[in-house]
Amino acid sequence: MILIAAAAVFFIAVMIRDNHRFVVRRYTVHSAKVSRRLTFVFVSDLHSKDYGEDNRKVVQAIEDLSPDAVLCAGDLIIKRDAWNNKPGWIDTGASFARQIAGHFPFYLTDGNHEEKLCYRGERQEAYDDWCKAVKSAGAVKLHNKSIDFRSGVRITGLDLPRETYQKIKPYHMPEGMVEDCIGRCDPEKFNLLITHNPKFFREYADWGADLVVSGHVHGGLMRIGRLGMIGPDLHLFPRYSGGLYENRETGAHMVVTCGLGAHTLPIRIFNPGEISYIEILPEKK
């Protein structure tokens, strides 16, 4: 009983600590499609969390990294707060977007929390308010759109429909869904795809993505090494929970961030928040 109690206290202490800190993780990808070094900071799943007043700790960490651009795969808000018209539900996410866009090009997509504001008429107004706040902040919202960045890099945002986030019952993406959403990729470009759900990495790679950045899984709540324990679809040991992955058939890579915040179950054990720093380099000769 004493050992069980000591273990419980230990895990609770780790959870509290990991819920209130973040780390910077660095990833490197090489490609023959780029002619010079490019750097990106990638964040996701803030979920209205504050690290210090007005998220100054996170903003300062990003400024210190000084990337060419900042990417975000959504879930800056909590849908429940918007549904319930909680005062200030939009403020933390909008303030974060405004601070980042004031210093760097800032490209973002929706997560499932933003997406779920759209599917009922009474919540469409909240979604419209969010989109206006993002635009006013100076961020570029890539809702199934692409932009040419620099040095042959094309950035595309993919917002998948609600059914791709279903829980418990496995979801199998229909062939061609990615192309139906965002059109064909340009194989001459380095295609950087921002999308919230990492579950469909094979489909993203088949579409032609060279690098995918994704979040959603929160690191699997508790991590043992590179292994996350449970995914948001309530499946154990999700295949993609955090880190750098490669599709060996196409050579595509995917960075999955463990995210910065939490909701509903604020559990993070051996799993602090994460800012991802991604370096894209010309392929080694």
Please report, for the domain that includes residue 131, its CATH number: 3.60.21
At a CB cut-off of 8 Å and minimum separation 6, what does 78 contact?
A: 47, 48, 89, 113, 263
Whether 120 has a pLDDT exceeding 70, the answer reads no
For 60-139, strand residue ranges (E) read 69-72, 106-108
Question: For 49, which DSSP code?
Answer: -
The pLDDT-based confidence of 124 (bands split at 50, 70, 90) is: confident
- Section 145-157 average pLDDT: 95
Alpha carbons 166 and 179: distance in angstroms, whole number? 21
CB of 264 within 8 A of CB of 12? no
For the chain, how many structural domains are there in total?
1
Q: pTM for this one?
A: 0.95
Whether 102 has a pLDDT exceeding 70, the answer reads yes
Q: What is the pLDDT of residue 284?
A: 66
CB of 216 within 8 A of CB of 73? yes
The pLDDT-based confidence of 119 (bands split at 50, 70, 90) is: low
Q: Name the token pair of 93.
A: 């996410």
Which of 169-173, 191-195, 237-241 shows the lowest mean pLDDT across its residues?
169-173
pLDDT digits (tens, 9 = 90+) for 202-258: 999 999 999 999 999 999 999 988 889 999 988 999 999 999 999 999 999 999 999
pLDDT digits (tens, 9 = 90+) for 35-86: 999 999 999 999 999 999 999 999 999 999 999 999 999 999 999 999 888 9
Residue range(s) defining the domain that contains residue 272: 2-282
